[in-house]
Structure 1
């Protein structure tokens, strides 16, 4: 079965955004701290930037819920078709 997020979302921990690393020190699935080893792979959720150990099999969660396991937001950013009207509400 194809992975829910695909291999393109696998990156070395060291390549994740530094502010994200500061906020997210433990994997949401195994609750272990990230090793910060250069070869440790994490899977990044494209829409929100949250990540978790690649070895922690989150695909079952993602296939059934289709949301980020940490913030419950969408997995992928919304795509607005070119030429579509965009409405911005200003409070």
Structure 2
């Protein structure tokens, strides 16, 4: 998935740093979705990726949250409540731990 850096911080991908406005090509979908969820990148125009725009998770409906979690390959209970789904989204779209 092609994405454009929109935050003021740089994004490191494949041993290269990308600055605001630069396009990162062929980012794995799961990583792109995580960064889109954090607001660091947005899908590139014309990209046929799975998400054209995303709302903040708090404004998403339960089906939208479940769809996002499915795309992130995160398991959840079929009867999970919105608060539980939000917690999972936040957990799986958060910053990776420092190495």
TM above 0.5, yes or no, is no
Rg larger in 1 or in 2?
1
TM superposition score normalised by structure 1: 0.26
Higher helix share: 2
